[in-house]
Amino acid sequence: MCNTDLPYSPPMHIKVLPSLLAADFAALGAEAVRAESAGADALHLDIMDGHFVPNLSMGPDVVAMAKRHVNIPLSVHLMLTNPHEHITSFIDAGADSLLIHIEAECDVPEVLQRIRELGVRPGITLNPKTPPEMIYPVLDIVDEVLCMSVEPGYGGQSFEACVLLKLRNLRNQADSRGMSNLDILVDGGINAETGVQCAAQGANGLIAGTYLYGSPDMQAEISRLREEATASLSA
């Protein structure tokens, strides 16, 4: 049972990040441009190693390709068992934020610190079953928190509603630490309906693959998502 009735300070701006995983892989450059032209705040790229998650997806060359095609920030989600072995490759490729998992097999605080020292925004990600308290020890050293609302590995899955309580918990925790600028993102099964629910609980970044890339009018969907999510903040 989720209790989401606790107060919190609502974030000011809702960011919308299309996930390139749902794009047409025969035209990735054009698909990155489609997201930028549609008004995306950043482009989300999912990196999978076939070990941390069963699937394999893309590597640094795809990040470098996106960097050549668009000017919006690149949000790079590392679903890797050993992210520390790859962060310099993704930074050299042009990542603007690097999100590692708390469940990864590495010295998580050390890797986050190294990402920051290399001039990139560090972010921590947690899976649906991971309690929010697991990331409290690193909350002060990240710029972004990414809450998975599906098990990582595949696009097109159904939203898991218990992420809502986690979002509220983390927004309250950030507020209590004076971190009003902390970006709290949510990823998996996001559409107009679930995105609004997440924003109402403290998420200010909505990552959506299937919903946005599956739309013939991405611009209209991004505007709608941003407007309805923003409206939910003052409701």
- Residues in the interface with ligand DX5 (CB under 6 A) total 21
Instruction: Pick the closer one to Zn ion by CB: 8 or 91.
Output: 91
The entry of Zn ion, ligand DX5, none that residue 157 binds, CB within 5 to 8 Å by partner kind:
ligand DX5
Query: Judged by CB under 6 A, which of 41, 143, 144, 187 binds ligand DX5?
Result: 187
Q: Is 187 a catalytic residue?
A: yes
Confirm or reject binding of residue 101 to Zn ion (CB under 5 A). no
Cα→Cα distances 71→33, 39, 99, 127, 221, Å: 9, 12, 19, 29, 21
Report the distance separating Cα 208 and Cα 215, nearest Å. Answer: 11
Amino acid code (one letter) for 164: L
Confirm or reject binding of residue 46 to Zn ion (CB under 5 A). yes
Of 4, 14, 84, 79, the residue nearest 48 (C-alpha): 79
- Which single residue is written with the structure tokens 């308290």? 133
Confirm or reject binding of residue 153 to ligand DX5 (CB under 6 A). yes
Q: 148 with 124: CB under 8 angstroms?
A: no
Confirm or reject binding of residue 44 to ligand DX5 (CB under 6 A). yes
Q: Is 96 a catalytic residue?
A: no
Query: Judged by CB under 6 A, which of 54, 131, 137, 156 binds ligand DX5?
Result: 156
Instruction: Pick the closer one to ligand DX5 by CB: 8 or 43.
Output: 43
Instruction: Pick the closer one to Zn ion by CB: 77 or 168.
Output: 77
The entry of Zn ion, ligand DX5, none that residue 143 binds, CB within 5 to 8 Å by partner kind:
none
Amino acid code (one letter) for 20: L
Confirm or reject binding of residue 130 to ligand DX5 (CB under 6 A). no
Please, which of residues 199-218 interact with ligand DX5 by CB under 6 A?
Answer: 207-211
The C-alpha angle 226, 174, 150, rounded to 5 degrees, equals 55
Residues with a known catalytic role: 46, 187
